[in-house]
């Protein structure tokens, strides 16, 4: 079965469980992984299709509603996990094994004690066969339960490698119909046993872990925001694209709005806005793109502009008024006067610039809101 078909079916399964809560959404996938749906793949697909058509709750939506979109995202997240996780993440290790000379009776006890339904058989640390619960039942029927495993075990063994993705493991389960696979490492050493149940448990644990991580991240975010609010701080992060002259000025407009609402003097407000504007146009004209981090609290406005290069060859020259490397388009639009950096320096109460040719440029400027600075 191709991966594409698997993905399609998972989507279909998720659609059936549309209104169920989070974990129930994966009912279809769960059933497939645990082997609860013992039907050929095509039959599963047909059942789901019939189910979809017969249920008025889940008509095939012509227009996507937000709920469906969210659902798709969640399903693709599980798919992501299935691709990301390896057999070694899900397998039971170390495996419960028996020796080739052990009697089937002792293996039966082993299965009972560990509640497993198959045991790999080793001879001199090499995997030579496997005894399943079916072999035990046959032995009880045939009266050879006390004979050694090597006489009755299955010798035709399909194994998985520990570095295989879980998606491959699921495909192998579908292809062979076995309940378990012994898992070998790169040195052909038996390192574990994997069942469909192991995969489900592993996925559920991962989902839980990711959910916990997301919750923790959210909590940090909320805490940061609360701290910002307490410090009367507004943080604006702006991505600036190279050559995007049309967007220039939006950041400084926002800064002006915030400062004006706080009753900051027009002269101070103007200086902060000019710094932001010049920093923004510098990134637009000269760099491959970058980012401006602006933080406004009750004491000062801090503007940090960083770009991804190509860097300034000679920072001292760049700081000289009239010196510019701007291209013809920028000059046509009235930029490239060679006054950007000197303007920023003049408007700022604090100013630092670091640049490296081949690297990026980092510019930090601050304007104090209380103290009157240079007049513009």
Report residue 120 as tokens. Answer: 């790999």
**Minimal distance in Å, beta carbon 51 to other proteins?**
51
Q: Which is nearer to other proteins, 94 or 266 (CB)?
A: 266
CA distance 70 to 23: 14
In degrees, rounded to 5, the angle at the alpha carbon of residue 321 between the alpha carbons of residues 316 and 326 is: 85
**Minimal distance in Å, beta carbon 347 to other proteins?**
9
Give the x/- contact pattern for other proteins in 193-232, rule: CB under 8 A.
Answer: ----------------------------------------
The correct pick among 256, 286, 300, 302 for binding other proteins (CB under 8 A) is: 256
Instruction: Let me know how long the chain is.
Output: 376
Instruction: Name the phi and psi angles at 106, rounded to 5.
Output: -65, -35
In the three-class reduction of DSSP (H, G, I as helix; E, B as strand; rest coil), residue 336 is classed as coil
**Inter-CA distances, 115 with 59, 108, 147, 153, 204, Å:** 43, 10, 22, 19, 21
CA distance 195 to 35: 9
Give the x/- contact pattern for other proteins in 231-250, rule: CB under 8 A.
Answer: --------------xx-xx-
**Minimal distance in Å, beta carbon 291 to other proteins?**
19
Burial class of 303 by CB neighbour count within 10 A (0 to 12, 13 to 18, 19+): buried
Q: Which is nearer to other proteins, 35 or 373 (CB)?
A: 373
> Angle, to 10 degrees, between the axis of helix 196-230 and the axis of helix 27-34?
140
Q: Which is nearer to other proteins, 214 or 376 (CB)?
A: 376
**Minimal distance in Å, beta carbon 265 to other proteins?**
12
User: Binders of other proteins among 292-351, rule CB under 8 A?
Assistant: 333-340, 342-343, 346
In degrees, rounded to 5, the angle at the alpha carbon of residue 329 between the alpha carbons of residues 292 and 277 is: 25
Give the x/- contact pattern for other proteins in 265-294, rule: CB under 8 A.
Answer: -x---x--xx--xx--x-------------
**Minimal distance in Å, beta carbon 174 to other proteins?**
57
Report residue 363 as tokens. Answer: 């510019």
Q: Is 33 near other proteins (CB under 8 A)? A: no
The secondary element (H helix, E strand) that includes residue 121 is strand 118-123
Q: Which is nearer to other proteins, 165 or 242 (CB)?
A: 242
User: What does the binding site for other proteins look like in residue numbers (CB under 8 A)?
Assistant: 245-246, 248-249, 252-253, 256, 266, 270, 273-274, 277-278, 281, 333-340, 342-343, 346, 376
């Amino acid at each position: 079965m191709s991966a594409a078909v698997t993905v399609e079916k998972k989507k279909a399964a998720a659609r059936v469980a549309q209104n169920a809560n989070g974990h129930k959404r994966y009912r279809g996938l769960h059933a497939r992984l645990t082997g609860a749906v013992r039907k050929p793949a095509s039959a599963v697909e047909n059942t789901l299709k019939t189910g979809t058509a017969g249920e008025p709750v889940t008509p095939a939506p012509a227009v996507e509603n937000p709920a469906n979109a969210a659902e798709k995202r969640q399903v693709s997240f599980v798919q992501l996990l299935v691709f990301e996780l390896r057999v070694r993440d899900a397998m039971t290790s170390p495996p419960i094994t028996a020796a080739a000379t052990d009697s089937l009776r002792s293996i039966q006890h082993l299965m009972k004690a560990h509640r497993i339904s198959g045991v790999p058989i080793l001879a001199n640390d090499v995997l030579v066969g496997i005894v399943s619960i079916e072999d035990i039942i046959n032995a009880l029927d045939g009266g050879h339960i006390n004979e050694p495993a090597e006489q009755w075990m299955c010798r035709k063994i399909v194994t998985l490698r520990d570095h295989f993705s879980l998606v491959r493991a699921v495909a192998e389960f579908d292809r062979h119909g076995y309940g378990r696979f012994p898992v070998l490492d790169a040195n052909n050493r038996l390192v574990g046993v994997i069942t469909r149940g192991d995969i489900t448990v592993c996925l559920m644990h991962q989902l839980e872990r990711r959910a916990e991580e997301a919750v923790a991240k959210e909590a940090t975010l909320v805490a940061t925001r609360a701290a910002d609010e307490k410090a009367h701080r507004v943080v604006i992060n702006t991505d600036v694209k190279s050559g995007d002259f049309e967007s220039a000025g939006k950041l400084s407009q926002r800064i002006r709005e915030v400062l004006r609402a706080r009753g900051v003097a027009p002269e101070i407000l103007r200086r902060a806005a000019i710094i932001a504007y010049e920093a923004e146009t510098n990134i637009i004209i000269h760099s491959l793109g970058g980012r401006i981090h602006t933080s406004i609290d009750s004491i000062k406005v801090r503007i940090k502009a960083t770009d991804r290069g190509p860097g300034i060859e000679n920072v001292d020259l760049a700081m000289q008024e009239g010196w510019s490397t701007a291209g013809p388009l920028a000059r046509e639009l009235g930029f490239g006067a060679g006054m950007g950096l000197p303007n920023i320096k003049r408007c700022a109460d604090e100013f630092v610039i670091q640049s490296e040719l081949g690297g990026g440029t980092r510019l930090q400027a601050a304007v104090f809101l209380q103290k009157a600075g240079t007049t513009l």
